[in-house]
């Protein structure tokens, strides 16, 4: 019988001891592996979705919340900002700003966010139209690749958005016009895959169901003739705002009730602005502080806020990592105790093997092989636990945040983890193996 089979027989002779060692070892390895995989995929998504954005301008509140809601779309917005106040940062020809992209958030469709914006947002994520065309009118939508795939959206499909980001049928805007899919994007692996992109005026068309007077009073309930849209109290380019035909043309995309220039609507609001600088000079670096100190808006730097998020996560991650290390050390001690106690019971058997011609080196290799076998099996159990947990987490995280996480990604660090596991198994088996080396055959056989 070769050494491998003999080592396996010795281990399975006491299955409960073996199982205890494996479970402890597997838990430690699995926890470390899960932390590595989660951290790698989270970091990849955070860094990829930075998209070269230097500054995000939005309503006062938590700067981290502003970044998460506007760039990663995993939190609620801090509020809205008036276009009148944001106009200096949206005008073309700004001496510092190269690109400024407005966002209007607040609605969703079956868990995927509807974002009112401008076509330049595609350039941030190097996104391209895969099928159909870019939106040209209010309520026309271009669907991200993941949204189209998940919901089975096709060109010409229509839907009604829901207020907020929860999947709640009671929040659907039944009285508003329907959105219509006019295009889908090619996959990019970034957050834009998870979005339903539309013209900046679409959220207004959905939400404004009544004319507002100067005091902000909504007359929707007073005027039964309103069918779900409110335009300005003045005409734009000759459009008749009381024409019901205009309202029904939203869903077909045959009419355009809003001018193309966002800045024509000083009295309306957007959620935030994504800003890219022309260069990182002193004026660009001071813009954030100037906005925060001198306006009713706030500005946040994505890179800084994400680093703060890493720092917040880092404390918990470090605690879990140390817990995993402690578990692995305890499992190493368990392997050592298991082999040591097994060795005491097998001394007579090992002495007989020596008498029958087995060398000291062969017995040494037998004990070490048992430790390495336990380490390898514990490592494999840990990998199964880690990636199994990642599979379950991926489904839950996708359902909650619409982000795709993979349980099949294996990291080079996990190979290093195998090396560490083998080292622990070797060290745990070394002392019992050295005891075998120094065993006196005659005394052992005499003791029976």
Backbone angles phi, psi at 106, to 5 degrees: 145, -20
Residue 263: per-residue pLDDT: 87
Residue 356: per-residue pLDDT: 66
Q: What is the rounded radius of gyration, in angstroms, for the C-alpha atoms of the chain?
A: 32
Residue 214: per-residue pLDDT: 36
Angstrom distance (rounded) from CA 11 to CA 293: 69
- Which tokens belong to 256? 């355009």
- Which tokens belong to 262? 């966002």
Angstrom distance (rounded) from CA 254 to CA 288: 41
Task: Judge contact between 305 and 61, C-beta under 8 A.
Answer: no
- Which tokens belong to 47? 């860094």
Task: Judge contact between 426 and 368, C-beta under 8 A.
Answer: yes
**CA–CA–CA angle 180, 208, 129 (5° rounding):** 25
Helix (H/G/I), strand (E/B), else coil: 350: helix
Angstrom distance (rounded) from CA 93 to CA 289: 21
Angstrom distance (rounded) from CA 45 to CA 163: 27
Residue 334: per-residue pLDDT: 81
341-399: per-residue pLDDT in tens? 766 666 656 666 666 666 677 777 888 888 888 889 999 999 999 999 998 888 777 77
Q: What DSSP state is assigned to residue 104?
A: E
Helix (H/G/I), strand (E/B), else coil: 405: coil
Residue 366: per-residue pLDDT: 81
What parts of the chain have a pLDDT lower than 70?
1, 209-259, 342-359, 400-402, 436-448
Residue 14: per-residue pLDDT: 77
Task: Judge contact between 370 and 10, C-beta under 8 A.
Answer: yes
């Amino acid at each position: 019988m070769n050494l491998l089979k003999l080592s396996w027989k010795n281990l399975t002779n006491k299955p409960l001891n073996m199982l205890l060692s494996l479970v402890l070892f597997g838990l430690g390895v699995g926890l470390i592996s899960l932390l590595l995989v989660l951290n790698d995929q989270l970091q990849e998504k955070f860094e990829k979705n930075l998209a070269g954005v230097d500054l995000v301008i939005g309503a006062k509140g938590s700067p981290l919340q502003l970044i998460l809601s506007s760039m990663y779309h995993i939190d609620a917005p801090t509020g809205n900002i008036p276009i009148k106040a944001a106009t200096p940062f949206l005008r073309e020809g700004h001496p510092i700003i190269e690109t400024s992209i407005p966002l209007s958030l607040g609605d969703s469709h079956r868990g995927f966010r509807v974002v009112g914006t401008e076509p330049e947002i595609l350039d941030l994520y190097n996104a391209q139209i895969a099928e159909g065309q870019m939106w040209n009118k209010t309520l026309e939508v271009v669907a991200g690749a993941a949204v189209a795939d998940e919901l089975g959206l096709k060109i010409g499909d229509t839907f009604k958005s829901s207020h907020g980001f929860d999947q709640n049928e009671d929040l659907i805007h039944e009285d508003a016009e329907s959105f219509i899919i006019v295009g889908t994007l090619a996959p990019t692996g970034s957050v834009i895959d998870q979005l339903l992109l539309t013209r900046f005026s679409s959220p207004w068309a959905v939400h404004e169901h009544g004319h507002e007077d100067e005091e902000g009073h909504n007359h929707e309930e007073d005027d039964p003739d309103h069918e779900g849209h409110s335009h300005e109290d003045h005409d734009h380019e000759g459009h008749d705002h009381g024409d019901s035909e205009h309202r029904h043309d939203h869903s077909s995309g045959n009419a355009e009730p809003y001018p193309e220039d966002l800045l024509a609507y000083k009295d309306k609001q957007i959620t935030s602005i994504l800003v890219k600088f022309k260069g990182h000079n002193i004026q660009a670096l001071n813009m954030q502080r100037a906005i925060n100190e001198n306006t009713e808006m706030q500005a946040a730097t994505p890179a800084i806020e994400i680093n703060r998020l890493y720092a917040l996560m880092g404390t918990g991650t470090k605690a879990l990592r140390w817990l995993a290390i402690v578990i692995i050390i305890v499992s190493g001690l368990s392997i050592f105790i298991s082999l040591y106690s097994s060795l005491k019971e097998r001394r007579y058997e090992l002495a007989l093997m020596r008498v029958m011609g087995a060398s000291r080196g062969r017995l040494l290799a037998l004990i070490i092989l048992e430790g390495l076998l336990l380490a390898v099996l514990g490592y494999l159990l840990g990998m199964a636990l880690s990636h199994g947990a990642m599979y379950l987490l991926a489904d839950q995280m996708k359902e909650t945040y619409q982000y795709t996480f993979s349980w099949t990604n294996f990291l080079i660090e996990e190979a290093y983890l195998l090396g560490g596991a083998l080292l622990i198994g070797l060290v745990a088996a070394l002392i019992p193996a050295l005891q075998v080396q120094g065993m006196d055959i005659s005394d052992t056989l005499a003791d029976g």
